[in-house]
Structure 1
Amino acid sequence: MCGINVFDLSVNSESESDYTAIMVLLFLMKLMEAYEDGIYKEYVRKRYNEYDFKGVMDINRHIKINNPFLGKTAYSTREYSYDNDILCLIRQTLDYIKDYFPDILKGYLNNNVILNEIIDAIENATPSYRMNVNYSDSMKCRREITHPMYQKYEDVRKLALMILQESGQNVFDDKEEDTFGILIDISWLWEEFIAVKLLNEYSYEHLLTDNSKGSLQWSDKEYWYPDYIEKGKSDSKRNVFDAKYKFWDWNKDADIHQLLSYLFLTGGDTCGIIYPSHEEHCVFSFKKINSFSSFYKAVPTIYKLPLFIPSSEYDDYGEYYKKINISIQAWKQSFSAQIATS
């Protein structure tokens, strides 16, 4: 998610902090998107007391500070400036993230070099920033950003207020006011979980459908993407595996035909489905597809590779974490014994 490994984040589950962590992830992502249009700036009222008078004279302040008159004039002017409350609000949110969500910020900085530039630019642009000021209470920060050039900063502003006020906008609250919706692609999350927790130590690459990590070309304009492909030279056999976020059995003909198509393209002879299971003592099973032996040097083998996922009945997250790690280790032992060394 968002270019960082969400499975390695250390986040506790007290007082909706998990939900705040999601807001932090969205805030950093939206900030980088908004920065593509430049640093946010707006008209601000600035006051001066100089010899060169070039604004609206502030008579009361002039009488107060220029008595006796020595040539200076107190005046104010509206200037288009980066040093404004909205940018100070964003800077305060970044400081909050540094203190309370350092793992998330570190993950972003490691994967998005541009974020370092953004943080430096914001800090340099806001000399008026004060740590003891709560910018989330400022009326200027509560007003909607309507400037067409900086519309992307409106999401950044809303998220900053939500994070600093720790309102959390609980997803279970029955409120009529607008809030952010969060859509999570569980199928993709399951794929990433398998890539990181199950296959990371083996020689398999996780292919992505946006072509960012390779593809398998089978015609001039169309591509097929198995989820995981064995690393190796293009002229050697490469086995493939697919992730399915559903309870899977041998009656899924379309999935089996999909895997056989991948094998035909890669020249491999072993494939399989990795899916979640509620059975604690689930075991691997396989079938040899003898009817396709004329297409392959060896008879293709399809594996059924369930991973036991504990139910959510555990009150203690530590116990749940321990249980699922036991399941992961058991899966790896079976994979190593039956497939990885074959």
Structure 2
Amino acid sequence: MRTTDNNGGKSIDKFDNLNIADLSVIANRNLLDLQKENPDLLIFPHSFGKFRDDVEKPHIFSLDDENLTTYNLMGFIGRNSTQLTISSRFAKDENNDYFLHYMLQKVFSINLLKFDQTPNKENIWDFLLYLFPYYLKKAYSQGIYKAYKKEEYNDSNVKGTIDVKRHIISNIPFTGKIAYTTREHSYNNNLTQLIRHTIEHIKMHPFGSGVLTNDSEVRDIVSKFIFVTDKTFNSNSRQRIITSNLKPITHPYFTEYSALQKICLKILRHEKITFGNNKDKVYGLLFDGAWLWEEYLNTILKENFIHPENKTGKHRQYLFENNKQSIYPDFISKEEPKSVGDAKYIPLDRQQSYSENSEKATSIYYKTIAYMYRFSSNSGFLIFPKQDTSFYDTYRIKETEGILKKIGLAIPQTTETFKEYMKTMNINEQELRQNLMTDKTPNA
């Protein structure tokens, strides 16, 4: 079964009673409870770290006697034989969700030029591969993981416990060598071996070259993990390495490796996650569209705008003196005069849902206007995705010099290939940047 994000409510007439029974277990429940009960339900980025936002509060979807209503989450979720795919509302058709793939490519610095030629490209579990470079870089920022490991030696430089049995077998008659074992820190350990097995698995995937080679930093990190694990790496030992990593690592320094370990295990074990024998389990992989949209916009605006991150605290701002009340505008211009903006994944062009007089609309505007006041700015903007054509509108704040722009970035719907889609998006992004850096707003 398929639907799209923010679908406004779709009839459940096409679902049979068995499907409805499974979906009812998932519907109308907050994400935090669902994830606690179902470890194989992954919601990015929230499954892989602790964040200070309220993403756990919304539902994946709501269900009543007539309609199934989706929100900002995209991806795949299943229970028993029931499987529901939530595509982006900008998907060209059921087989090509170009918009979701494009945002993932931009945010995670990968290259999917071969997307159109790749069979089974809508296997949602393939999206796990996109996440690997992101977490690999975060973990490597703390260095290569070191752990104590038992090593066996047979030489004259004794520095551990003598292994009598091995010594008798190896060194009789005596030649000056002594067999002994040591427990020492090593880069070549079960976790780095798990990372290496994940690298080799991704290499064999149709998307593999784009995932591991497009970013120079990722290429360098991958080569380092290959180097430190090469001495003992054996492709036939994958299951043993997976088993040795089932217990989550806890380390006071290498904190980022916990998330990397988790994503590696999910990549290597996704078939068991999906097709296991556990009855009634909920499994899936979902992306928070609001987070993804915001991070995507940052990739095209970062040259001119600071991007405070409420999930990490980076570039934290404050509303009051004495560092009281943290605030996180999505974008703050680097140069004066200041301009502040908000990324909105919701369809702001749907006037019936977000009319100028609705309470929901005014709350959206109030937030940005408050940021404008805080940073002594007369320029604010809201950016949302708009099907097919760009959207520009200007709101002048009465009896002030303040201007609030509402900008819809055009999302193509008629391109025939992913390469053509990327080219069109690049043109639309350039138009967006030019508009934000000028005072003049084109007519809607």
User: What pairs up with 1:231-310 in 2 under 5 angstroms?
Assistant: 231-232=334-335, 237-248=337-348, 249=354, 250-251=356-357, 252-278=361-387, 280-290=388-398, 293=399, 296=400, 298=401, 300-310=402-412
Deviation for aligned residue 1:80: 1.5
Cα-Cα RMSD: 4.8
What is the match of residue 112 of structure 1? none
TM-score computed with the length of structure 1 as normaliser: 0.66
Alpha-carbon distance in structure 2 between the residues aligned to 1:211 and 1:74: 54
Alpha-carbon distance in structure 2 between the residues aligned to 1:253 and 1:208: 24
Deviation for aligned residue 1:329: 3.8
What is the match of residue 331 of structure 2? 228
What is the match of residue 25 of structure 1? 134
* Amino acid in the other structure paired with 1:238: K
Alpha-carbon distance in structure 2 between the residues aligned to 1:159 and 1:239: 37
- Aligned pair partner of 1:102 in 213, 235, 248: 213
Verify: 1:89 aligned to 2:189, yes or no: no
String of CA shifts for 1:200-221, please: whole Å, max 9, x gaps: 46x4333333442252433431
Q: Percent identity?
A: 17
String of CA shifts for 1:78-136, please: whole Å, max 9, x gaps: 43144566266257459758994133461596xxxxx79x948x956x6x8056x3264
What is the match of residue 10 of structure 2? none
Deviation for aligned residue 1:159: 5.2
User: What pairs up with 1:152-167 in 2 under 5 angstroms?
Assistant: 167=268
Alpha-carbon distance in structure 2 between the residues aligned to 1:6 and 1:130: 34
Quick check: 2:318–2:326 contact (8 Å CA) kept in 1? Answer: yes
1:338/1:142 CA distance change after superposition, 3 Å = same
Deviation for aligned residue 1:317: 1.5
1:47/1:7 CA distance change after superposition, 3 Å = closer
1:102/1:93 CA distance change after superposition, 3 Å = farther
Quick check: 2:191–2:261 contact (8 Å CA) kept in 1? Answer: no
Alpha-carbon distance in structure 2 between the residues aligned to 1:34 and 1:8: 21
Alpha-carbon distance in structure 1 between the residues aligned to 2:273 and 2:247: 30
String of CA shifts for 1:58-87, please: whole Å, max 9, x gaps: 48835xx73xx3566875x54314456626
Quick check: 1:238–1:266 contact (8 Å CA) kept in 2? Answer: yes
DSSP 3-state at the match of 1:212: coil
Alpha-carbon distance in structure 2 between the residues aligned to 1:332 and 1:23: 29
Alpha-carbon distance in structure 2 between the residues aligned to 1:276 and 1:332: 14
Quick check: 2:308–2:331 contact (8 Å CA) kept in 1? Answer: yes
Greater shift after overlay, 183-192 or 85-94?
85-94
What is the match of residue 321 of structure 1? 422
Residue correspondences, number: 306
Verify: 1:215 aligned to 2:317, yes or no: yes
Quick check: 2:147–2:189 contact (8 Å CA) kept in 1? Answer: no
Q: Identify which of structures 1 and 2 has the higher relative contact order when contacts are C-alpha pairs closer than 8 Å and 6+ apart.
A: 2
Alpha-carbon distance in structure 1 between the residues aligned to 2:157 and 2:374: 79
Deviation for aligned residue 1:172: 9.2
Kindly indicate which of the two structures has a greater share of residues assigned to helix.
1
Deviation for aligned residue 1:179: 11
Verify: 1:169 aligned to 2:270, yes or no: yes
What is the match of residue 149 of structure 2? 42
Alpha-carbon distance in structure 2 between the residues aligned to 1:108 and 1:340: 42
Kindly indicate which of the two structures has a greater share of residues assigned to strand.
2
String of CA shifts for 1:136-157, please: whole Å, max 9, x gaps: 4473664346597669777756
* Amino acid in the other structure paired with 2:373: F
Deviation for aligned residue 1:191: 1.8
Quick check: 2:390–2:409 contact (8 Å CA) kept in 1? Answer: yes
List gaps (5 residues or longer) in structure 1. Answer: 110-114
* Amino acid in the other structure paired with 1:195: N
DSSP 3-state at the match of 1:41: strand
Quick check: 2:379–2:404 contact (8 Å CA) kept in 1? Answer: yes
TM-score computed with the length of structure 2 as normaliser: 0.53
List gaps (5 residues or longer) in structure 2. Answer: 1-44, 49-104, 349-353
Quick check: 2:393–2:406 contact (8 Å CA) kept in 1? Answer: yes
What is the match of residue 56 of structure 1? 164
Quick check: 2:108–2:133 contact (8 Å CA) kept in 1? Answer: no
